Each structure stands twice: as structure tokens, then as C-alpha cells.
Structure 1
Amino acid sequence: MGHDRRNDRSRSPKYAAHKKTGHIKEHNHPSSDPEPSDADRRITQRLKDALGLVDIRILDHVVVGHEGFVSFAERGWL
């Protein structure tokens, strides 16, 4: 008998999304300054609150610039 792919949920993106427990957000600043803006901090808090409703944690938010990066987790902002 062949493998029935209809029952192979482990390969389904929809099924995989239900297993997610953490999220790392990253984005770049076109300027050379990776320092997070107030808007970056606000949207991170909103995402943290929203994802918390479905038991998904924000593990980090990394802002990248030409001169390096800033990690919210390293700064203790999460």
C-alpha cells in the first residue's frame, strides 16, 4: 500500500502553525542606526500581547542597521 498524504499532517503548513510556541521578529532600518524607535517598541508590545492570547511568546525582536543590530531580548525589553 502507498502512503496516504491526506493524513500526513506533519507536513502541512497549517498543522505546523498550530505547533508554534515562539516567534522571533526582525527587520532592518534603512538608516545606519539600528536603535529601535518608539514605534518598534510599541508594535513589539502589541505583538507580544496578541500572540500571548494564543500562547506564543515573542523570543526576540532584532533591529538591523548598517552599523550592527539591537536585540530586544539582550536589552531585557521582553
Structure 2
Amino acid sequence: MRKNSKHFDETDLLPFHIIQAASAGDVEAINVVLKHYEGYIISLSTRKMYDEYGQTHYCVDEALRRRLETKLITKILSFKIA
């Protein structure tokens, strides 16, 4: 039997105290959140490029990656814990 879905458990989640500190503006906590989502952001910002010989290369669009990180930071800082 083949498994196609990824199994997530509670160890894949950010702890509440990190989320709370990041939303309060703690720089270290914000960096932890950015590190947590780093792989996802890189996968979203990967682009297919072609060289002069027609070879396909996959590269990270650094401008897009920075925009996604900036958007995440602004959402973290505007996040309200109920």
C-alpha cells in the first residue's frame, strides 16, 4: 500500500509561547517562525529558468522569497491572540 499523504503530528506545530512572543514583537521568536516556514517559502519561490542552451534549471527567486518573508512578518506582528 502506498502512502501519498504526509503525516503531521503535534511536533510539527510551533509552540504557543513562540507564537505569542512573535506576535508581541520578539525578534528571536519571529526568527524561529521564519525558520519554521523556510522550506515552504523556498518551495513557493522556486522558479524554472532556462540557460542559453535550453537547459532547465530551478532557482530560488530571491526577490520573491524576501517578499514572502516580509509578508509573513507583517502578518505575525498584526496577529491577535484571542
Work out which structure has the larger RCO, using CA pairs closer than 8 Å and 6 or more positions apart in sequence. Answer: 1
Higher fraction of strand: 1
- In the superposition, the TM-score normalised over structure 2's length comes to 0.30
- In the superposition, the TM-score normalised over structure 1's length comes to 0.31
